[in-house]
């Protein structure tokens, strides 16, 4: 990430180092952006002219670069709304707060802030950062085992670029013809929609930058541990305790007479990509389940994921049946689905949502996969949700990167987004999840969701449907449970999809499905601004640490693997970090829409590109006011009032009833005004 | 009044009304001189829909002589109608709502449609509803309007040593579209002003519209100078502008036309301030779309919003093709430039295009919202609109005669005021704490500009309003909006006054479609409105509680 010294910088791609450190370098030019809402305009225009502006804009841009488009009139220089000025004002991409934990560190070594456990590997002087917006910045590049840290102290304000190594997808050498023969160029193609570039000298005395970066950006490929295994930060809460499957199923009212908590997979023998604790129908034998496992891809048998508290309709997830070209059948599988249907007395039907495009499902059948035939499964209705596969999604986001980075073609902004189809896929996912939720809520019918393996689109759909149906998952804590459960425990292949520490960037297994899921959640938070306890910063932080390799939360492909690698004892959980400072991730306007089902509108007119995530590296993305601080103050005020109300209520209950009327205004009037926005 | 001539059928029973966000309902339709009134007889309490006919932009009717009318209500036992004819009227409103009325009887249907068509576009201003609207809690004796030039001038003491209030336009004799009193440089006397007015299109000589307290710089606005092909000069005009910058090294002229357009204007007698005659003034050209292009853009946008296909329909490309957001961008960035010249660069600015009644007002207004915290409160914003739009002669009657649905041939219609509101909304979204009013106020203004119970947006100029007695015979919207209940409703609970300028980001990735307006009648917009209402109430409650505890 790139930030101005001292100012609480942009969305930090690189872990919890958000705290303004380096106060010694706190330049006078930057001071006023901290406490003045918009940053004084005069101030930032001064900075602009000096070309020393924060984030993207360097301290070393020669004046002729800045002014190249402005020959006509000297006086117009620096008028930001004048012409197509290629320099811009400071972009506080998020106006992020300084967080308490994970930032308190820390040692400084050569002015480089380090996390506990982090060590400097190489320091290279005379490196040039090639800023896509304002040209070259000369400075010092430090490579640690966690991040790449570039500083420049030219001019009066310091320029810092801080990129964690986990976010790097591949390293590419580029040519920098203008800088002389012995200069090499390096582009860091990142997973989070940016590609910073550097130029450096290749003299004998210089260490090899590429080698040093590659070694620590791709530790797996170099037989080194991921950084999370070295990270030594202590947090006051333990995020690994967030998800306890038994407690979560108990919350849902399980076990009950139809559903049992089973230990059949306790040693991951039945299915190595499933969690050890499963919820399956009571009246089915282990023998039968094993036969069903053989009939389902990767042995991912149908298991309960969520049960409706009233109708007892369930969301069941699994993988595709191995029907094959010869229309194989499995009596146990057919009976299994019948039992699932019978467990819900409200409906005599069962709906299967196959996430795939129907044509693909047919092709899969020829390759030994397939789908449930309605003639072999009585009372079953099969729906295809027509969602394209992981490769299509990867390609779509790749196109999106071209649209948002490094520069934006302003004249064709909307049509360029249209052409990526990204929002179209977001719409398909939300629409599919809404269909599932509606089937349970209105149709009182149990549903089975699968795609091919049941770990990608299935996870997206079940978790989104559960978010619509169950208000618990819309809390800060509940959302963590949802992710732990539907994604981690049910074996979404994070390692394969993200490629932590692996240099094989062209691996076709990679795909941004989790990003897509978080995007869908963001779309819902926009449509229901008071229904979610967490805020946008939370969603962005989750995505940043999907890549950062600072926390072990997203490591490996399955629960079994995580257990074998002792992730829980050897790494820190992302939720430890989040839950140590929940006030920063909390939406002050949150009202528990308990028992409300939220159906998002899925017309393309109501979906937006999440620019504050995808386009945040663009200096022209500029939120204007530090709203965050005000919202946080509101949150504190709200908490105080809540406490006061509770005290009043206590008083009321201990006093006689009549005395309560003296309190004004009445406490019942205050917090969590009941909402009329039932959907 | 002769409204009754236009009403052949005043009442129809058994009409089915379909409107967004509500189930269809059956009831009685009634047409009066100014309203369409529908009251249903459904169980669960009667419901009424009262629609100002002026709000109706287009009427589409389809009549059929067949049965089948009652197919919607299978239990309808009204057999005498089943065999009869029926018709459907689709009403498209200027606030973008679309209603549908199923009316039994072809003749009645045609009568109703005809009445609506005629009464919704009455030409005579004094027949419009504001002249009849008499709410019990407002009196015609109340002050009309919030601000008038005399008051504005007297409030700004800082101005007085260099600027004076001139009543040269008393009786609207010098400029028919200016108010009777205007603020001009002290050293320019009324005789000189008369000469300057002759040199400016429509007599709109340069007048002060904003004084920047922080550095004493000003924004002036006018129309184009009538230099013509012969490069005519006007000594007094040059003196006036010289007096504006008085001692300072230079001023800026922001011309809302491209330099090519400005050159071409000379052929038709217009022109621009040439460097040689106004050597202390630096011209900056920013091309802003003309009225007609804006109207076409609005029509395209509304059409795209209305297509309710949920499939891959390339919505974003359509949004882009409508160019509406690029007009928003141009307006905001030109206003940003203007504010920059004044606030950062510390120079006075003269703004004009051709007539000086449209985009000139748009950017001078936006620049004031950007720079001046006083314009960001509910009262301040309404007073700003009154000064810069109503008194400054934006031709509301011509510009807002029709909106996006009308089939009538376009004449002078153009959604400049709507564009202003959209730009302010973008500011509001980018600075959620800096503006004292809520989105609801902007939505209300967007509706009122096209059809209103109040007289504020009637006519094209102060002179017209004066001759029709608008200020005596109608109520003022701005006053009504400041009644305690309204005022609370339209205020922003998160408002925190900031003295700083609020510089908008004008890149397409920072601008958004104003869904609250353009998709207002879809369920989600309604849902969001409710959620925002809820948040408002919550914050207000907290505020009250914090005071108590």
The residue of chain A with its CA nearest to that of B526 is A677
In angstroms, what separates the C-alpha of A620 from chain B's closest C-alpha? 7
pLDDT for res A536: 93
The residue of chain A with its CA nearest to that of B346 is A42
Show residues of chain A in contact with B531, CB under 8 Å.
528-531, 675, 677
pLDDT for res A340: 95
Residues A301-357: tens digit of each pLDDT = 999 999 999 999 999 999 999 999 999 999 999 999 999 999 998 899 999 999 999
- Contact A41/B539, CB-based, under 8 Å? no
- Contact A418/B314, CB-based, under 8 Å? yes
* Token digits of residue B185: 């440089």
Q: Which of A41-50, A392-401, B18-27, B455-464 has the lowest mean pLDDT?
A: A41-50
Show residues of chain B in contact with A624, CB under 8 Å.
430-431, 434, 502-505
- Contact A80/B503, CB-based, under 8 Å? yes
Starting from the edge strand earliest in sequence, which strands make up the sheet with A380-384, in order?
A303-307, A314-317, A446-450, A350-354, A380-384
- Contact A81/B305, CB-based, under 8 Å? no
pLDDT for res B178: 97
* Token digits of residue B135: 């709410």
What is the reported pTM? Answer: 0.87
DSSP annotation of B450 reads T
- Rounded CA-CA distance A336/A296 in Å is 12
- CA nearest to B375, candidates B540, B185, B151, B212: B212
pLDDT for res B542: 78
- The kind and range of the H/E element at A28 are helix A28-35
What is the gyration radius of the CA atoms in chain A, in angstroms?
Answer: 27
pLDDT for res A40: 33
Nearest by CB: A618 against B432, B509, B537: B509
Query: In terms of C-beta density within 10 A (0-12 exposed, 13-18 middle, 19 or more buried), how is residue A234 classed?
Result: exposed
Structure ipTM: 0.89
- Contact A81/B310, CB-based, under 8 Å? no
- Rounded CA-CA distance A461/B128 in Å is 55
In angstroms, what separates the C-alpha of A446 from chain B's closest C-alpha? 26
In angstroms, what separates the C-alpha of A413 from chain B's closest C-alpha? 7
The residue of chain B with its CA nearest to that of A422 is B312
Alpha-carbon distances, residue B543 vs A530, A634, A637, B548 (angstroms): 18, 10, 9, 9
- The kind and range of the H/E element at A112 are strand A112-113
- CA nearest to A669, candidates A678, A679, A677, A661: A661
To the nearest whole number, what is the mean pLDDT of chain B?
A: 90
Is residue B426 scored above 60 in pLDDT?
yes
The length of chain A, given as a count of residues? 679
Nearest by CB: B310 against A410, A602, A675: A602
Catalytic residue set of A: 451
* Token digits of residue B310: 């949920």
- Contact B535/A530, CB-based, under 8 Å? yes
Share of chain B above pLDDT 70, in %: 93
- Contact B541/A608, CB-based, under 8 Å? no
Show residues of chain B in contact with A623, CB under 8 Å.
430
Nearest by CB: A622 against B336, B510, B522: B510
- Rounded CA-CA distance A126/A111 in Å is 16
pLDDT for res B549: 58
In angstroms, what separates the C-alpha of A550 from chain B's closest C-alpha? 31
In angstroms, what separates the C-alpha of A358 from chain B's closest C-alpha? 17
Share of chain B above pLDDT 90, in %: 71
Residues B122-149: tens digit of each pLDDT = 889 999 999 999 998 888 888 888 888 8
Show residues of chain A in contact with B509, CB under 8 Å.
404, 408, 413, 609, 611, 615, 618, 620-621
The residue of chain A with its CA nearest to that of B519 is A605
Sign, CA torsion B457/B458/B463/B466:
negative
The pLDDT of B240-250, averaged and rounded, is 89
* Token digits of residue A414: 């909307």
- Contact A641/B545, CB-based, under 8 Å? yes
Show residues of chain B in contact with A530, CB under 8 Å.
531, 534-535
- Contact A81/B494, CB-based, under 8 Å? no
* Token digits of residue B384: 């700003």
- Contact A73/B282, CB-based, under 8 Å? yes
Nearest by CB: B316 against A80, A418, A630: A418
Instruction: Tally DSSP H helices, then E strands, for chain B.
Output: 21, 14
pLDDT for res A155: 62
- Contact A641/B310, CB-based, under 8 Å? no
In angstroms, what separates the C-alpha of B335 from chain A's closest C-alpha? 8
Burial A78-99 (b: 16+ CB within 10 A, else e): bbbbbeebbbbbbbbbbbbbeb
A226 or B75, higher pLDDT: A226
In angstroms, what separates the C-alpha of A19 from chain B's closest C-alpha? 24
pLDDT for res A232: 93
Nearest by CB: A41 against B313, B344, B432: B344
Report the residue of A605, A630, A671 to disrupt the B interface, i.e. the one with the largest count of B CBs within 10 Å: A605
- Contact A76/B284, CB-based, under 8 Å? yes
- CA nearest to A149, candidates A169, A172, A120, A174: A120
pLDDT for res A394: 97
CB A99 within 8 A of CB A18: yes
Residues B270-296: tens digit of each pLDDT = 999 999 999 999 999 999 998 899 999
Residue A461, Ramachandran bin (φ over 0: left; ψ between -120 and 50: alpha; else beta): alpha
- A&B contacts, CB < 8 Å: 190
DSSP letters spanning B528-540? HHHHHHHHHHHHH
In angstroms, what separates the C-alpha of B333 from chain A's closest C-alpha? 5
Grouped pLDDT means (10 residues each) for chain A, 679 residues: 35 34 28 32 30 26 30 41 42 39 52 91 90 86 94 78 95 82 89 93 76 94 96 95 97 96 96 97 94 97 96 96 95 95 92 96 94 93 96 97 92 94 96 97 96 96 98 97 98 97 95 98 93 95 97 97 97 97 91 87 90 88 62 77 79 58 36 32
Residue A241: HSE in the Cβ half-sphere, 13 Å Cα cutoff: 6
Give the bridge partners for A508, in sequence order.
none
The residue of chain A with its CA nearest to that of B301 is A605
Nearest by CB: A79 against B337, B524, B535: B337
- Rounded CA-CA distance A499/B172 in Å is 75
Alpha-carbon distances, residue A48 vs A65, A88, A90, A510 (angstroms): 12, 7, 8, 40
The residue of chain B with its CA nearest to that of A39 is B500
- Contact B531/A529, CB-based, under 8 Å? yes
- Rounded CA-CA distance B543/A183 in Å is 61
Per 3-state DSSP, what percentage of chain A is helix, strand, and coil (rounded to 5)?
40, 15, 45
Q: By three-state DSSP, how is residue A64 classified?
A: helix
- Contact B344/A45, CB-based, under 8 Å? yes
Instruction: Name the one residue in this structure whose structure tokens are 């050209």.
Output: B285
pLDDT for res B524: 65
Residues B341-374: tens digit of each pLDDT = 999 999 999 999 999 999 999 999 999 999 999 9
- Contact A624/B319, CB-based, under 8 Å? no
Report the residue of A624, A626, A641, A669 to disrupt the B interface, i.e. the one with the largest count of B CBs within 10 Å: A624
CB A302 within 8 A of CB A340: yes
Report the residue of A33, A34, A41, A83 to disrupt the B interface, i.e. the one with the largest count of B CBs within 10 Å: A41
């Amino acid at each position: 990430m790139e930030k101005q010294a001292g100012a609480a910088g942009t969305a930090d791609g690189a872990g919890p180092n958000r705290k303004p450190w380096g106060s010694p370098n706190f330049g006078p030019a930057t001071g006023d952006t901290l406490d003045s809402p918009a940053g004084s305009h005069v101030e930032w225009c001064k900075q602009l002219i000096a070309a020393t502006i924060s984030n993207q804009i360097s301290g070393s841009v020669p004046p002729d670069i800045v002014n190249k488009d402005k020959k006509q009139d000297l006086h117009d220089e620096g008028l930001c709304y004048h012409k197509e000025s290629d320099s811009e004002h400071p972009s506080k991409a998020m106006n992020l707060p300084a967080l308490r934990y994970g930032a308190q560190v820390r040692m400084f070594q050569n002015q480089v802030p380090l996390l506990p456990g982090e060590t400097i590997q190489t320091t290279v002087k005379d490196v040039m950062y090639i800023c896509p917006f304002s040209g070259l910045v000369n400075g010092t590049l430090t490579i640690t085992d966690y991040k790449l840290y570039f500083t420049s102290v030219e001019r009066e304000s310091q320029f810092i670029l801080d990129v964690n190594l986990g976010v790097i997808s591949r390293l590419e050498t580029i040519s920098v013809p203008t800088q002389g023969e012995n200069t090499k160029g390096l582009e860091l193609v990142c997973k989070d929609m940016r590609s910073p570039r550097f130029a450096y000298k290749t003299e004998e005395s210089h260490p090899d930058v590429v080698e040093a970066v590659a070694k620590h950006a791709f530790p797996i490929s170099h037989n080194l541990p991921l950084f999370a295994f070295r990270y030594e930060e202590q947090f006051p809460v333990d995020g690994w305790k967030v998800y306890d499957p038994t407690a979560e199923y108990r919350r849902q009212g399980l076990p009950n007479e139809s559903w049992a908590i089973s230990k059949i997979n306790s040693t991951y023998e039945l299915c190595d990509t499933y969690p050890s604790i499963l919820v399956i129908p009571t009246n089915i034998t282990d023998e039968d389940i094993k036969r069903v496992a053989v009939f389902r891809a990767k042995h991912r048998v149908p298991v309960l994921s969520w049960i409706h508290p009233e109708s007892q309709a369930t969301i069941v997830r699994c993988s595709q049946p191995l029907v094959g070209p010869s229309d194989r059948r499995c009596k146990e599988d057919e009976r299994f689905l019948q039992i699932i249907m019978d467990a819900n007395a409200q409906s005599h039907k069962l709906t299967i949502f196959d996430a795939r495009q129907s044509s693909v499902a047919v092709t899969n059948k020829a390759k030994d996969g397939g789908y449930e035939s309605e003639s072999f499964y009585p009372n079953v209705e099969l729906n295809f949700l027509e969602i394209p596969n992981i490769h299509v999604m990867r390609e779509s986001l790749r196109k999106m990167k071209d649209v948002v980075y490094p520069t934006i073609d302003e004249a064709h902004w909307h049509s360029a987004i249209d052409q990526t189809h990204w929002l179209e896929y977001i719409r398909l996912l939300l629409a599919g999840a809404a269909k599932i939720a509606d089937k349970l809520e209105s149709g009182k019918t149990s549903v089975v969701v699968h795609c091919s393996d049941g770990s990608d689109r299935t996870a997206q759909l079940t978790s989104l449907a559960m978010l619509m149906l169950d208000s618990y998952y819309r809390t800060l804590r509940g959302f963590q449970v949802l992710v732990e459960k539907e994604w981690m425990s049910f074996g979404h292949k994070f390692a394969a999809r993200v490629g932590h520490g692996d240099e094989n960037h062209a691996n076709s297994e990679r795909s941004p499905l989790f990003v897509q899921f978080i995007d869908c959640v963001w779309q819902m938070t926009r449509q229901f601004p008071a229904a979610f306890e967490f805020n946008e910063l939370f969603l962005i932080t989750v995505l940043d640490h999907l890549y950062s390799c600072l926390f072990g939360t997203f490591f490996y492909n399955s629960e079994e693997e995580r257990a074998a690698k002792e992730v829980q004892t050897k790494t820190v959980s992302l939720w430890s970090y989040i839950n140590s400072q929940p006030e920063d991730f909390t939406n002050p306007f949150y009202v528990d829409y308990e028992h409300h089902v939220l159906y998002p509108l899925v017309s393309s007119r109501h979906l937006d590109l999440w620019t504050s995530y995808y386009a945040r590296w663009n200096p022209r993305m500029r939120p204007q006011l530090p709203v965050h601080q005000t919202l946080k103050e509101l949150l504190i005020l709200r908490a105080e009032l809540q406490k006061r109300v509770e005290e009043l209520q206590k008083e009321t209950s201990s006093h006689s009833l009549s005395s309560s009327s003296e309190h004004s205004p009445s406490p019942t009037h205050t917090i969590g005004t009941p909402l009329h926005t039932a959907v | 009044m002769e409204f009754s001539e236009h009403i052949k059928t005043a009442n129809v029973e058994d009409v089915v009304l379909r409107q967004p966000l509500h189930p269809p309902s059956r009831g009685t339709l009634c047409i009066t001189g100014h309203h369409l009134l529908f009251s249903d007889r459904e169980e669960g309490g009667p419901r009424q829909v009262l629609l100002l006919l002026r709000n109706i932009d287009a009427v589409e009717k389809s009549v059929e002589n067949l049965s089948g009318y009652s197919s919607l209500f299978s239990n309808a036992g009204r057999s005498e109608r089943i065999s009869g004819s029926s018709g459907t009227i689709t009403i498209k409103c200027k606030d973008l709502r679309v209603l549908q009325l199923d009316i039994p009887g072809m003749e009645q249907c045609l009568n109703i449609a005809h009445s609506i068509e005629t009464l919704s576009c009455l030409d005579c201003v004094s027949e419009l509803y504001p002249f009849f609207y008499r709410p019990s809690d407002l009196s015609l004796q109340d002050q009309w309007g919030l601000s008038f030039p005399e008051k504005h001038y007297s409030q700004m003491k800082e101005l007085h040593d260099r600027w004076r209030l001139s009543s040269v336009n008393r009786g609207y004799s010098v400029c028919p579209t200016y108010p009777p009193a205007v603020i001009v440089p002290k050293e320019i006397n009324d005789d000189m002003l008369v000469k300057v007015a002759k040199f400016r299109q429509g007599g709109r000589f340069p007048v002060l519209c904003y004084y920047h307290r922080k550095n004493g710089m000003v924004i002036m606005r006018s129309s184009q100078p009538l230099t013509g092909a012969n490069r005519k000069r006007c000594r007094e005009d040059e003196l006036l502008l010289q007096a504006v910058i008085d001692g300072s090294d230079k001023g800026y002229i922001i011309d809302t036309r491209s330099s090519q357009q400005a050159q071409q204007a000379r052929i038709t007698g217009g022109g621009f301030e040439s460097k040689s005659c106004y050597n202390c003034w630096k011209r900056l050209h920013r091309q802003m779309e003309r009225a007609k292009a804006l109207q076409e853009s609005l029509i395209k946008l509304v059409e795209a919003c209305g297509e309710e296909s949920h499939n891959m329909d390339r919505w974003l490309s359509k949004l882009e093709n409508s160019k509406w957001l690029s007009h928003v961008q141009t307006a905001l960035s030109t206003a940003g430039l203007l504010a920059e010249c004044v606030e950062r660069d510390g120079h006075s600015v003269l703004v004009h295009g051709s007539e000086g009644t449209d985009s000139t007002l748009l950017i001078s207004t936006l620049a004031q919202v950007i720079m001046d915290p006083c314009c960001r409160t509910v009262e301040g914003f309404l007073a700003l609109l009154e000064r810069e739009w109503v008194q400054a002669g934006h031709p509301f009657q011509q510009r807002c005669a029709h909106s996006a649905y009308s089939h009538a041939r376009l004449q002078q219609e153009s959604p400049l005021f709507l564009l202003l509101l959209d730009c302010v909304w973008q500011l509001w979204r980018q600075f959620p704490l800096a503006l004292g009013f809520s989105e609801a106020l902007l939505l209300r203004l967007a509706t009122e500009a096209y059809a209103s119970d109040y007289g504020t947006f009637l006519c094209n100029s102060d002179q017209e309003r004066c001759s029709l007695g608008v200020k005596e015979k109608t109520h003022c919207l701005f006053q009504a909006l400041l009644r305690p209940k309204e005022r609370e409703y339209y205020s922003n609970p998160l408002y925190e006054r900031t003295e700083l300028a609020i510089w908008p980001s004008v890149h397409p990735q920072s601008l958004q479609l104003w869904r609250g307006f353009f998709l207002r009648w879809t369920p989600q917009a309604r849902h969001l409105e409710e959620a925002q209402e809820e948040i408002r109430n919550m914050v207000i409650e907290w505020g009250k509680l914090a005071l108590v505890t």
